[in-house]
Amino acid sequence: MQLDDLLQRYFATSDISSISPDALSAGIEHCRVDFGLTKDRGKRFALWALLHMLGAAPDLDVAFENEEDREAARNFMDLLAAPVGDDSEQREG
């Protein structure tokens, strides 16, 4: 699943900055429903990741039964929390 496709599906635009508060709320609710209904691990992870980026994801122990999926989600959160733009460490190595 591509982020642009998810944004288009749930918010009718791929430009997240143009989403109105009401459309954002409705799209998040729709995404939560689909997240709860889908059994496909990959789709569930993609939906959870989108919800996480929007500040609306369920806790990991609720979202994922599988420990591997919870660990992948933790890694995703760590990647998002990492500093951006400072590649000086890469050049030193």
Amino acid, single-letter form, for residue 45: F
Give the least confident one: 14-23, 48-57, 78-87.
78-87
Indicate the pTM of the whole model.
Answer: 0.84
Could you write out the DSSP letters of every residue in the chain? --HHHHHHHHHS-S-GGG--HHHHHHHHHHHHHHHHH---HHHHHHHHHHHHHTT-PPPHHHH-SSHHHHHHHHHHHHHHHS-SS--HHHHH-
pLDDT the model gives residue 84: 82
Over 80: is that where the pLDDT of 66 sits?
yes
Domain spans in the chain, listed from the N-terminal domain onward: 3-82
